[in-house]
Structure 1
Amino acid sequence: MSDAPHPFTIPDFRLYWLARFMAVVATMGMVVIIGWQAYDIARTDYGMSPKEAAFQLGLLGLCQFIPLALLTPVAGWAADRFERRKVAICANLIDASTAGVLALLTMADGLNLPILFLLAALHGVARVFVGPAMSAIAPNIVPAGSLPRAIALSSIAWQAGSVVGPAAGGLIYAQSASATYWVSVCLLVLACISIATIRPVVPPHQGDRRHPLRLMVEGVKYTFSERFLLGAITLDLFAVLLGGATALLPVYARDILHVGPEGLGQLRAAPAVGAALVAIWLAFRPLKHNVGVKMLLAVVVFGLATIGFGTSHLTGDALFDNADIALLGITASMLIALSMLSLLGAADMLSVYVRGSLVQLNTPDAMRGRVSSVSGLAISASNELGELQSGFAAALLGPVGAVVFGGAGAIMVTGIWAWLFPELKNARTFEPQFRATQTRIAEKETVT
């Protein structure tokens, strides 16, 4: 792996990285404002209580998850059947159109909850096709030995975009309500141009004439037949589903920490700050040993940080002198919240890095689009269904109780998964765990 070229020496990877960064900045800026507008409209226009409005955030997550659940097999098949750049470009253009409609309706003061739910669902449609296509491009433009480092650098693009997008989105929204969406439109169009400049990435088995439904089912069956892949993918699904503190950030920003949309942007950016720092470190010093145990420990830290964030408004004043913190222009509670979210993001980045490398390197190229779609569904389910779970839990336990309960649940899931899937903790390196199975599946895929 040390003899492999650095991914940034490859022109196509530089274009890929730039496209990913711009698209993430655009979409994360959109997501922050959609969540803020949904919660604020529920509180002001509909007169809902914080618990009732938090429940609307859960419904917003559900609206994004439904198209992901329905279209994930189709998206994976499309990434393995069609030219992968074109799939990614079309999906980004759908997202750009969504941002344009949101901008126009915001300018006309024509937004309400049903419209926001509908446009959130359309955003989910775009995301379900972007994920598998972009994930399947990366292994085709860098050598296998460079892939773990490429994944770390790709994560830097994601996390850097996740820092810039929410922070800039909140600041821009405070100045002009529609401007965040217009910036997203421009960035998504530029991302499409960058993707189009990459050399064509043709799926390896385009001569396969089997029925699309059969190909989709095979991708799901392959994932579920390999305990290692199944354990790695579902660990993230259930841990993040329970520990989805970010879903309730609009509640914390508006009614608990009282920091407004600018503060919401900072809160949404904080996990990405921690994640970006870890991604940069991994890009220069990639993990080589005991990767499975480190992934499990990272999820435990993720759960602990979630609990710390949930109680930040209670512990801030007890740990810091308000007068000293005031000199920094930030409350003690906000400082604790930002610190815990940064730690949460750092732990999640380590887990994502290990899981992403293991999944990609344990999957034959002919199956990568479909397996990536299954993995993407798990990630999206953990995020969007996590928002739904957080909304339901907040309606029952209150926002603080929901966050603390979720963090404890993430820790419990890690222990259960370490017992159910010992293959995870036994993964010492990134070397493929099921080389024989990969070869057999790859040979089967090339049969016309």
Structure 2
Amino acid sequence: MDDRTPDAIAAPATPLLRQRSVQLFVGARMAMAFSMQMQHVAIAWSVYALTGDPLSLGLIGLVEFLPSVLFILVTGGVADRLDRRKVGVVSAAAQAFASVCLLYAAASASPNLALIYAIVFFLGTARSFAQPALAALLPGIVEVADFPRAVAMTTSSLQVAMIAGPAAGGLLMAWSAPALFALAAALNAAAALMIAFIKARQGRGEAEKETGFKSLLAGFSYVRANRLLLGVISLDLFAVLFGGVTALLPIYARDILDAGPVGLGLLRSGPAMGAIVVGLILARFPLRRNVGAIMLASVAAFGAATILFALSTKMPLSVAAMIALGGFDMVSMVIRFTMVQLGTPDAMRGRVNAINYVFIGASNQLGDFESSVVASFAGAKGAAVIGGVGTLLVVALWAWRFPELRRADRLE
């Protein structure tokens, strides 16, 4: 039961941003997100320019996602057994180093495709350690009663970087690719410094009795036994696996909408525009009831927005569809992240978050690969339409197979 009054639930989120550790956490996540989004634009544009092959764009996502699967038992265990702040610092510093390597590749007279993929793999490895540690760190920064609001506030703040990042990436890519990667390296280095000064009630997971391989598998056992968490996490995996269109954006920007790299940046910024508006609304007015049904409806609307984008041939409508897509995704994202964090004991938050990150990565990165493969024989429009329809079918199936999700009432 939630014993807070309605006025307390609807209280403004501003006081959270007055806490120094929250400021540092938000600032670090924004810096890393800005860097990531800029680099995604630059890497995708460079690879497509080198190959002209839609499949090569999907391989970027696949290479970036692979480390999170290969090291899943390690990344979660590290987040639970070591100081999560130190893990975040090292991971951010590693991403800064990767940006320097991309700078070198961009400055080369003849860019090497294999080298670019190798650097992307290293970036994916660094992020696979950073994400579980930082996600598990947030509950130790804010009070449990403020956590749903903190999730919405932090995520919407992060979206600011995700709006500006792709747009800045498109502009900088048109001017100077080395300058883009130099800025990315500086942002990741700044993130490492900010994480180092965060103060949390608990910097690492609580001690537990289980050790060895059984301990590493505890996160899988917990998620499998909790059907609500399993339904929430797997819904995102399969819905976005089919509905993601990010890998197709360079094709839309260049071949369908004739918008160039600047248009590509705007299209990539669209989802973040919708997400930040919805996130700010949820930070002010948190979801209180019927959260399971709301999540299913928002994912279905995500699929519908994907179909609208697929059929559009006008830049304004395409951007509007991407904005709507991001807004609906934000609703499901806040519900999922809050349920995962509050429904998991601190002792295994790192391992459960590692699983969650793999599921998210599978939906995003493998979704990019899937849409690229389908686009190679059905065209970009065909791939996007098939993906949107697939998302709608997934929602219907999950509503049937996971009644616990359909009946979920509160986030707490």
TM-score tier (shorter): over 0.9
Q: Distance in 1 between matches of 2:101 and 2:119?
A: 8
- Per the TM alignment, residue 66 of structure 1 is displaced from its structure 2 partner at its CA by 1.4
- Per the TM alignment, residue 10 of structure 1 is displaced from its structure 2 partner at its CA by 2.3
From the CA coordinates, give the structure whose radius of gyration is larger.
1
- Does the aligned pair in 2 maintain the 1:41–1:112 contact within 8 Å? no
CA deviation digits over 1:307-340, x for unaligned, max 9? 1111111xxxxxxxxxxxxxxxxxxx00011000
Look up the match of 1:271. Answer: 271
What is the 5 A alignment of 1:273-292? 273-292=273-292
- Does the aligned pair in 2 maintain the 1:311–1:404 contact within 8 Å? yes
CA deviation digits over 1:225-266, x for unaligned, max 9? 110110000000000000111111111111111111111111
Structure 1: runs of 5+ lacking an equivalent:
44-52, 314-332, 432-448
- Per the TM alignment, residue 206 of structure 1 is displaced from its structure 2 partner at its CA by 4.1
Look up the match of 1:103. Answer: 103
What is the 5 A alignment of 1:292-331? 292-313=292-313
Look up the match of 1:342. Answer: 323
Look up the match of 2:65. Answer: 65
- Does the aligned pair in 2 maintain the 1:149–1:286 contact within 8 Å? yes
Look up the match of 1:86. Answer: 86
- Does the aligned pair in 1 maintain the 2:59–2:369 contact within 8 Å? yes
Q: Distance in 2 between matches of 1:195 and 1:110?
A: 37
- Per the TM alignment, residue 143 of structure 1 is displaced from its structure 2 partner at its CA by 0.6
- Per the TM alignment, residue 136 of structure 1 is displaced from its structure 2 partner at its CA by 0.6
Structure 2: runs of 5+ lacking an equivalent:
none
Look up the match of 1:202. Answer: 203
Moved over 3 A (4+): 3-6, 206-209
Look up the match of 2:402. Answer: 421
Q: Distance in 1 between matches of 2:261 and 2:206?
A: 48
Q: Distance in 1 between matches of 2:249 and 2:120?
A: 17
Look up the match of 1:358. Answer: 339
Bigger Cα displacement from structure 2, 202-211 vs 270-279: 202-211
Look up the match of 1:136. Answer: 136
CA deviation digits over 1:400-444, x for unaligned, max 9? 10011001100110010010001111111112xxxxxxxxxxxxx
Letter of the aligned partner of 2:331 in structure 1?
L
- Does the aligned pair in 1 maintain the 2:236–2:360 contact within 8 Å? yes
- Per the TM alignment, residue 28 of structure 1 is displaced from its structure 2 partner at its CA by 0.9
Look up the match of 2:38. Answer: 29
Q: Secondary structure at the match of 2:189?
A: helix
Q: Distance in 2 between matches of 1:346 and 1:142?
A: 25
Letter of the aligned partner of 1:29 in structure 2?
M
Is 1:370 aligned with 2:371? no
- Does the aligned pair in 1 maintain the 2:105–2:115 contact within 8 Å? no
Look up the match of 2:21. Answer: 12
Letter of the aligned partner of 1:159 in structure 2?
Q
Q: Distance in 1 between matches of 2:76 and 2:174?
A: 38
Letter of the aligned partner of 1:56 in structure 2?
S
What is the 5 A alignment of 1:168-187? 168-187=168-187
Q: Distance in 1 between matches of 2:24 and 2:83?
A: 17
Letter of the aligned partner of 2:301 in structure 1?
V
- Does the aligned pair in 2 maintain the 1:57–1:388 contact within 8 Å? yes
- Does the aligned pair in 1 maintain the 2:34–2:161 contact within 8 Å? yes
Letter of the aligned partner of 1:41 in structure 2?
L
Q: Distance in 2 between matches of 1:380 and 1:161?
A: 19
With over 3 angstroms needed to count, the CA separation of the structure-2 counterparts of 1:301 and 1:145, relative to structure 1, is same
Q: Distance in 2 between matches of 1:230 and 1:204?
A: 22
Q: Distance in 2 between matches of 1:246 and 1:184?
A: 20
Aligned match of 2:364 in 383, 387, 396? 383
Aligned match of 2:47 in 38, 44, 48? 38
Look up the match of 2:373. Answer: 392
- Does the aligned pair in 2 maintain the 1:250–1:264 contact within 8 Å? yes
Q: Distance in 1 between matches of 2:209 and 2:258?
A: 57
User: Percent same amino acid among aligned pairs?
Assistant: 40
Letter of the aligned partner of 2:327 in structure 1?
A
Q: Distance in 2 between matches of 1:165 and 1:80?
A: 31
Is 1:401 aligned with 2:382? yes
Is 1:112 aligned with 2:112? yes
- Does the aligned pair in 1 maintain the 2:140–2:203 contact within 8 Å? no
Q: Secondary structure at the match of 2:177?
A: coil
Q: Secondary structure at the match of 2:136?
A: helix
CA deviation digits over 1:323-381, x for unaligned, max 9? xxxxxxxxxx0001100000000000011011111111111111111111111110001
